[in-house]
Structure 1
Amino acid sequence: MSGTQAQDDLITASRPAPGIVQLNLNRPDKLNALSKALLAQLLDHLHKASADDGIGCVVITGNGRAFAAGADISDMLERGVASYVDTDRLGVWAAIEAFSKPLVAAVNGYALGGGLELALLCDVIVASKTAQFATPEIKIGSFPGDGGTQRLPRLVGKSFAMQMVLTGMMVSAELAERKGLISEAVEPDELLPRALEIASEIARMSSAITPYAKRAVNAAFELPLGQGIEEERRLTVEAFATEDRVEGLRAFKEKRPPQFKGR
């Protein structure tokens, strides 16, 4: 990844601000459908960001008029169920879910099917007011199979998730914001500036601590309350062992900005 922009076929990568990597899904002619190759390249860039101590946050968006319009239907037609249970493909989804640093999705257009499921793997979702969301798989005799049926109800509740999954209805950014599917809906020309503003705020924090915070919040969606609190406490104890945790306490006592080192 260069200081300006690097072209890598299905993903474009740039560093628009200190501590941030921006990854653009780059199949605009296919509405950024999530082919196996695109997902592999996305994961490769996430691995690079994970290994770079200077990166505190990653922003994912789409080139053209879509964030991502779902899975690669041609591959499903060609290989049938093998395209779904492909261990490499499933491994990529698991690895994106396990990515430790914060992910911000800047949804610029359609986020449909697998595209919505990819957005749901991100920690913050900001959307253009012209963006639209859907789980349209039911219309082709299917349903969300990469986490959508599990993550969506946790955000919007059972009733609205059922309505989306069973009808394939299109959801506006305004409604998505009202239902808690996204954190903010902004004007189209404000989307990337706002996403980068949020990412910059995150990147300015300790890159050693934000992964702990991410894991703690995710535990609220994965564990019963009692176990979640236990996990929060365990992570807090682990975080005390970092240099940045001690630096934060010292800085507060000394009434000065902390000088985080990411360790």
Structure 2
Amino acid sequence: MNYENILTETTDGLGLITINRPTKLNALNKATIEELHNAFKALDEDASVKVIIITGSGEKAFVAGADISEFANFSVAEGGKLAAKGQELLFDFVQNLSTPVIAAVNGFALGGGLELAMAAHFRVASDNAKMGLPEVSLGVIPGYGGTQRLPQLVGKGRAMEMIMTAGMINAEEAKTYGLVNHVVPQAELLEFCKGIAGKIMRNSSVAIGQAIKAINTNYTDGVNGYEAEIKAFGESFGTEDFKEGTTAFLEKRRAAFPGK
């Protein structure tokens, strides 16, 4: 599929999505959100794709925020619809994909950009990355999950400070906070992420998908995460991946998981 605002490629089980709006510092607009949804959906449905990396084009920005010009004159109802549709199409969608998503944060990740990175299953930052949720400086609050995911990742107090000050933190601070897992030189960012992806690909894609679901359940109101884990654990025993994994272990060889 051809896209106007993003680039996609698939190589050896790895799907790479690059947000490509360099003149706008890769800012998210409605069209880009829709294209990202379609790209993530297509890659998740491709059985050959085991890991997805999302990054931004250029050396300045992952995503420098939302395209403010699109919603500056919105009404209350329009603003609510904007947030609800965006969360459904992209942010919640990415969080709940069964295919692991790594955010390669290659520069500014602000507002909707940080919210997109937080929706990924984990994050790796380049050493020049800057992150923040500056929405209150515009008289609005984060609307794509920022008030929910940031406290989950960095704790309530740090999230409160970041959101209320509308300030940015650098990559090392983000690592200290637990917002990103690793910080690497920008020139090494994608290869580093591909290295992690390679380790993930050696394991059962079925089990990984179930693990993602069980972990996310812990953050779902009214759902018992332990019960979800027990159910998913039991279901694992009925998969071909389980049979291959245990057989390979007993035969002292590397498993060749069929992904079923």
TM-score by length of 2: 0.93
1:118 maps to which residue? 116
Deviations 1:26-85 (A, max 9, x none): 111111111110011111111111111100010000002111111121111143441541
The SS at the match of 2:158 is helix
Deviations 1:96-142 (A, max 9, x none): 33322100000000000111000011012000010000000011111
Matches within 5 A, 1:1-263: 8-15=3-10, 17-64=11-58, 65-81=60-76, 82-86=78-82, 88-93=85-90, 94-222=92-220, 227-263=224-260
Q: CA deviation at 1:223?
A: 5.8
Confirm or deny: 8 A CA contact 1:55 1:203 kept in the other structure.
no
Cα distance in 2, alignment partners of residues 247 and 54 from structure 1: 18
1:4 maps to which residue? none
The SS at the match of 2:137 is helix
Cα distance in 1, alignment partners of residues 28 and 142 from structure 2: 14
The SS at the match of 2:72 is helix
Confirm or deny: 8 A CA contact 1:156 1:181 kept in the other structure.
yes
- Matching residue's letter, 1:127: A
Cα distance in 1, alignment partners of residues 126 and 75 from structure 2: 34
Cα distance in 2, alignment partners of residues 183 and 89 from structure 1: 26
Q: CA deviation at 1:165?
A: 0.4
- Matching residue's letter, 1:79: F
Segment drifting more, 144-153 vs 89-98: 89-98
State the 4+ residue runs in structure 1 displaced beyond 3 angstroms: 78-81, 86-90, 220-224
The SS at the match of 2:52 is strand
> How much identity, in percent, do the aligned residues show?
41
Q: CA deviation at 1:204?
A: 2.6
Cα distance in 1, alignment partners of residues 255 and 54 from structure 2: 28
**Unmatched 5+ stretches in structure 2:** none
Cα distance in 2, alignment partners of residues 107 and 255 from structure 1: 38
Segment drifting more, 181-190 vs 102-111: 181-190
Q: How many residues align?
A: 256
Taking only aligned residues, the RMSD between alpha carbons, in angstroms, comes to: 1.7
Segment drifting more, 210-219 vs 24-33: 210-219
Q: CA deviation at 1:155?
A: 1.1
- Matching residue's letter, 1:45: A
Confirm or deny: 8 A CA contact 1:75 1:83 kept in the other structure.
no
Confirm or deny: 8 A CA contact 2:87 2:145 kept in the other structure.
no
- Matching residue's letter, 1:259: A
Q: CA deviation at 1:179?
A: 0.6
Cα distance in 2, alignment partners of residues 178 and 124 from structure 1: 14
Cα distance in 2, alignment partners of residues 175 and 18 from structure 1: 34
Q: CA deviation at 1:220?
A: 3.3
TM-score by length of 1: 0.92
Q: CA deviation at 1:202?
A: 1.3
Confirm or deny: 8 A CA contact 1:61 1:106 kept in the other structure.
yes
Cα distance in 2, alignment partners of residues 118 and 102 from structure 1: 14
**Unmatched 5+ stretches in structure 1:** 2-6
Confirm or deny: 8 A CA contact 1:70 1:113 kept in the other structure.
yes
